[in-house]
Amino acid sequence: MRKLLVTTFLIACSASVLMGQTPDQQTKNEFFAGYSFHSADINTLTVDPRRRGQHGVNLEYTRNVTKHVGITADASAHFYRDTRSTSVGTFSSKRDQYFLLGGLQFKPGHGKGIRPFAHVLFGASLFRGFTSDLRPTGNVYTFDDATSVAMAFGGGLDVRLNQRIDLRLIQADYTPTFFGSGRQNNFRLSVGIILKK
């Protein structure tokens, strides 16, 4: 009986040690923050309708429901500034675009190394624009402020650094919006750090 108790105790201790060393325990919460580049197709919104490259920030929170599926909330803000001289004066423009999205994220698991992921997000986008055309004969100012349905279809690659931190090597999204009577075919690239808890 004594040997049985000792053996049972040793097995229980070994199991607890092994479980404590399991590297692939599922983390429930993931917070992503990083730099984001947005190729904005501003084709129906302003007096200067050309594709613009905007720089900004991308934030995400993902609650992992299972090992493979998570619920994601995504927010990003991108900015563009330009001032140039013309033959008759100075032209300046500002183009700011914001996204607030939510949806599902899919991953193959929580193992070591590189982990791909994909997500499908839906929500809204806010566009704000301002231009000034300064001339000796008079100044002209325009303001644009609009809200649209927005989406993000994409994915990327995460690299596990340790149990609590991942590096997002790349996140690429197609982010269409529907301002005015048209569709804007936008693209977003993000990189950054993921904190897991």
pLDDT tens-place string over residues 75-96? 999 999 988 888 888 888 888 9
Per-residue pLDDT, 93: 82
Stronger pLDDT, 185 or 16, i.e. the higher one: 185
Residue 16, pLDDT above cutoff 80 = no
Give the CATH fold of the 29-196 domain. Answer: Porin (2.40.160)
Query: Any residues with CB less than 8 A from the CB of 189 and at least 6 apart, and which?
Result: 36, 37, 170, 171, 172, 173
- Would you say 26 and 60 are in contact if contact means Cβ atoms under 8 Å apart? no
Domain boundaries, the chain: 29-196
Residue-wise pLDDT tens digits, 36-71: 999 998 755 555 566 889 999 999 999 999 999 999
pLDDT band at 132 (very low <50, low <70, confident <90, very high): confident
Which tokens hold the place of 195? Answer: 């904190």
Distance CA 120, CA 105 (A): 7
Which tokens hold the place of 153? Answer: 């279809």
Residue 34, pLDDT above cutoff 70 = yes
Q: Is 117 helix (H, G, I), strand (E, B) or coil?
A: strand
Residue 126, pLDDT above cutoff 60 = yes
- Would you say 69 and 104 are in contact if contact means Cβ atoms under 8 Å apart? yes
Any bridge partners for residue 124, and if so which?
100, 149
Say which range, 6-10, 38-42, 55-59, 182-186, has the weakest mean pLDDT.
6-10
